[in-house]
Amino acid sequence: MDQTFFSLRQIKLFQILLGQDQYLPMDQAAERLGVSTRTLFREIQGINRELGGLSVYLETKTGKGIRLSGDRESFAGCLEEISKRDSSLFYYTKEQRRALLTIEFLKRKHIEKLGYYAYKLMVSEATISNDIQAVRPWFQKHSLALERKAGLGITVTGEEENFRSAIIDFLNEKLMRADVEQFQDSRGEFRALEYFQNLGKNSNMDLLNEEILDKVIKILKKCEDEFLSRITRHSYIGLVIHLVIAIERLLSGKTITMEEELLRALKEDPYYKKAKELTAYFEEEFHIEVPESESAYVFMHLKGARMKYAVEKQDELTKMLDEYDCMIVADDLIAAFGRLMGDDFSQDKVLYQGLASHLRATLHRLNYHMRLENPLLDQIKEDFRDIFAICKSVCKVMETKYHLEVNEDEIAYLSFHFGAAIERKKAQIKQSVILNVAVVCASGIGISSFLSSSIKSRFAGTVRVSPLSVEQVALREAEGMDIIISTLKLPDQGIPVMEVGALLKEEDFGRMQAYFEILKEQKIQKKIPDVKNIRRAVCPDIVENLRIYPADASEGKEEVLRKLLGHTDMGEKQKDRCLEAVMEREKDGPVALKDRKFLIFHCNIPGNNTPVLMFFTLDHKKGTHPDFQDFDKGALMIVDKKQDKKTRDTLAVISEGFVNDERILESLEKKDPKALRCQIREYLERAKQEGDEGLL
């Protein structure tokens, strides 16, 4: 099979049809090729004559579409062989074709006829002619001209500086969008050659000579010093691109010039010597002589930028390049920013130091009219248009006071600094805003206490959490709270209520995060004073008679609970009511710390004058009931609905202790009631001293 029998569009159609067995509707086939159905019919007209010797043919059927029939497997092998011989064989969209045409014009050292480009891109000369008209404005923008010469063809004319500038800009537009971080190894080193090879592979763009590219990267690695190792990835990429293009142009006899006055001024800078040392390596490797003007452009890159073009030096600004003057400019910019924002940012040391450091290279670039491409410019202008507009106004200080014209690339870089300053300011305000969160379950001592601990752990330092029972909510004890997290459906409370299950999932935390952020913003905007923390009263004496009971893991939870209740002083009817209440609550799902193999049974029931706090360990020698799979210990907690607040709070704090203090469950695992009582007492004492602001 010879590829020249078929157009790239036809080959693409074959590939599409090989991917499915049924008929493909003609409109869908045309859409996938990016053409009209009329064009598609024109492409397949007479195609079966060409396919005759390949044991396959195109079948079209009215109302059904088109499909490839015959020995599809052999035909697929033929296509694969073609792809191996020529990796460029795929159908180009109009945008891709015009990008490749632009590359050809920038690379081509000699004049070529339209037929050359038509053959290379597998389209008609008329199509190439239209494409030339489409890309002409791009060349004009770079002060280059596409000229047709009768009988000879078409060529690009312009100054050498403009050629290099156009090549670099094209690479920035088409190639610099790749994720640089994915080419960083485990030691943090940048795999530069792999990065550029990947760009060429994915974009079919070969503006950079791969042999020169490989040598340039190796030389830079060989002579890498402290300064080179500290420059940003994008600055390094810019330096590589500049060197590869410069060396290839020098090898073809193309040199760049620079005004004598500017060159003399640059040669006085200490970094110029470093640039000369660097270019000496390339002179030796490529057997070329690098003119002083070329070294001067390398010098500009070593100052932290990719050179666009240079004009006369502005002597009155030279003094701004030292550290002290950068600080003065930083002060001016921060003052202007503060006036626009209506706030004081003068105490933001991170902003001040970051700006002063950034401005050292920025002022150098602006002074010499150099341009540092910002690959995120369009995204910043779109996603952060407000801060970009503010920074644009701030930069008027640079124009009016220092007579420096700040381009949009630089404004976008400054937007990072000022945008971060705004976020730090918001964070400072948010740190002073604590949300008051009520967590509600039926009893206020079971699920709500577990959930409270989980929420405190996840949102440490930003929320103040109080577990409450339904009765407490009815008694309006949730007043002053910012939000209620509830496992039950509650009547309207006048504040946001978020319903959750007994076991919190990641999506629940995500919803909470969203709620909390909104509530914080509201509190900041309305300047609502925080509700003062109400210390929860606790009663350490509640554990005075605490005991640990053995339980048979081969029995179900109902039987284990019945035996545990048998150790209390309750009447038989009350025991039955408690058992029924606990089992009813269990229908909502277990309350457990699975990683600690610990579960808790609890309920809130009237008529139980004495609170119940019992611990048990599970014996698995006789077997394991499904209720106790993966568990070896637990607790039973029962409180009266009318129990005093101090008792309810004490049991709630103990529940939190199961999560927050590992020593409590360690004592239970050792079956040591004395140590268990001691650990719970210590935890309750700390809670009494610290309140919600500390441990709890």
Give the tokens for residue 455: 């929420």
- Specify the CATH class of 315-423 in words: mainly alpha
Instruction: Quote the pLDDT of residue 342.
Output: 76
458 vs 427, 432, 692, CA distance in Å? 18, 18, 15
Query: Could you tell me the pLDDT band of residue 584, with boundaries at 50, 70 and 90?
Result: confident
The residue ranking higher by pLDDT, 533 or 330, is 330
- Give the helix ranges, DSSP H, for 19-124: 26-33, 37-44, 47-51, 72-85, 94-107, 114-121
Instruction: Quote the pLDDT of residue 696.
Output: 33
Type of residue at 5:
F
pLDDT 10s digits, 225-253: 655 655 666 667 777 877 888 888 888 88
In the chain, residues under CATH classification 3.40.50.2300 are 432-526
Q: What CATH number was assigned to the domain covering residues 3-85?
A: 1.10.10.10
Q: What CATH number was assigned to the domain covering residues 94-158?
A: 1.10.10.10
> Measured between alpha carbons, how far apart are the two ends of the chain, in Å?
77
Instruction: Quote the pLDDT of residue 14.
Output: 83
Q: Is the pLDDT of residue 313 over 90?
A: no
Q: Is the pLDDT of residue 688 over 50?
A: yes
Total residue count of the chain as it appears in this document: 696
Q: CA triplet 222, 227, 230: central angle to 5 degrees?
A: 100
Q: Is the pLDDT of residue 380 over 70?
A: yes
Instruction: Compute the average pLDDT of residues 394-410.
Output: 82
Q: Determine the topology of domain 540-693 in CATH.
A: Mannitol-specific EII; Chain A (3.40.930)
Give the tokens for residue 323: 């550290």
Which H or E run includes 342?
none
Which H or E run includes 377?
helix 377-383
Helices (H) and strands (E) in the chain, counts: 30, 13
pLDDT 10s digits, 200-218: 544 434 567 778 888 888 8
What is the DSSP code string of 435-471?
EEEEEEESSSSSHHHHHHHHHHHHTTTTEEEEEEEHH
How far is it, in rounded angstroms, from Cα 173 to Cα 168? Answer: 9
Q: Is the pLDDT of residue 690 over 60?
A: no
- Asked if 14 contacts 24 with a C-beta cutoff of 8 angstroms, the reply is no
How far is it, in rounded angstroms, from Cα 165 to Cα 168? Answer: 5
**Which listed CATH number (3.30.70.1020, 3.40.190.10, 3.90.920.20, 3.40.50.2300) goes with 432-526?**
3.40.50.2300
Q: 96: helix, coil or strand?
A: helix
Instruction: Quote the pLDDT of residue 225.
Output: 61
Instruction: Quote the pLDDT of residue 562.
Output: 92
Q: What is the mean pLDDT of the chain?
A: 78
Computed on alpha carbons and rounded to an integer, the radius of gyration of the chain in Å comes to 38
Q: Is the pLDDT of residue 323 over 70?
A: no
Query: Could you tell me the pLDDT band of residue 645, with boundaries at 50, 70 and 90?
Result: low
Instruction: Compute the average pLDDT of residues 25-31.
Output: 87
Percent of the chain exceeding pLDDT 70 equals 79
Instruction: Quote the pLDDT of residue 344.
Output: 82
Q: Is the pLDDT of residue 622 over 60?
A: yes
Query: Could you tell me the pLDDT band of residue 375, with boundaries at 50, 70 and 90?
Result: low
How far is it, in rounded angstroms, from Cα 87 to Cα 96? Answer: 15
Strand partners, 147: 155
Tokens 């000879």 map to which residue?
152
How far is it, in rounded angstroms, from Cα 438 to Cα 452? Answer: 8
How far is it, in rounded angstroms, from Cα 160 to Cα 424? Answer: 46
How far is it, in rounded angstroms, from Cα 237 to Cα 228? Answer: 12
Residues 6 or more apart in contact with residue 466 via CB below 8 angstroms? 436, 437, 438, 439, 452, 481, 534, 536, 692
Which H or E run includes 593?
strand 591-593
Tokens 């004073």 map to which residue?
529
420 vs 280, 350, 423, 432, 546, CA distance in Å? 41, 9, 5, 19, 54
Instruction: Quote the pLDDT of residue 483.
Output: 92
pLDDT 10s digits, 63-97: 889 998 888 888 777 776 655 555 444 456 677 77
pLDDT 10s digits, 135-182: 898 888 888 888 888 778 888 888 887 887 787 777 766 554 455 566
Distance of CA 372 to the CA centre of its chain: 24
Distance of CA 62 to the CA centre of its chain: 49
How far is it, in rounded angstroms, from Cα 94 to Cα 557? Answer: 71
Q: CA triplet 393, 396, 401: central angle to 5 degrees?
A: 150
pLDDT 10s digits, 254-301: 877 777 777 787 788 777 888 888 888 888 889 999 888 888 877 776
In the chain, residues under CATH classification 1.10.10.10 are 3-85, 94-158
Instruction: Quote the pLDDT of residue 316.
Output: 40
Query: Could you tell me the pLDDT band of residue 691, with boundaries at 50, 70 and 90?
Result: very low
Instruction: Quote the pLDDT of residue 540.
Output: 77
**What percent of the residues of the chain are helix, what percent strand, and what percent coil, each to the nearest 5?**
60, 10, 30
Q: In this structure, what are the phi and psi dihedrals at residue 133, rounded to the nearest 5 degrees?
A: -65, -35
In the chain, residues under CATH classification 3.40.930.10 are 540-693
Sort residue 55 into left (φ over 0), alpha (ψ -120 to 50) or beta. Answer: left
Query: Could you tell me the pLDDT band of residue 619, with boundaries at 50, 70 and 90?
Result: very high
pLDDT 10s digits, 411-443: 988 888 888 888 787 777 766 778 899 998 876
How far is it, in rounded angstroms, from Cα 502 to Cα 441? Answer: 9
pLDDT 10s digits, 494-550: 888 999 887 888 888 888 988 888 888 777 665 433 333 334 567 777 888 889 999
What is the DSSP code string of 500-554?
--SS--HHHHHHHHHHHHHHHHHHHHHTPPPPPP-PPP--GGGGTT--EEEEETT
Q: In this structure, what are the phi and psi dihedrals at residue 469, rounded to the nearest 5 degrees?
A: -95, 170
How far is it, in rounded angstroms, from Cα 484 to Cα 576? Answer: 32
Indicate the pTM of the whole model.
Answer: 0.39
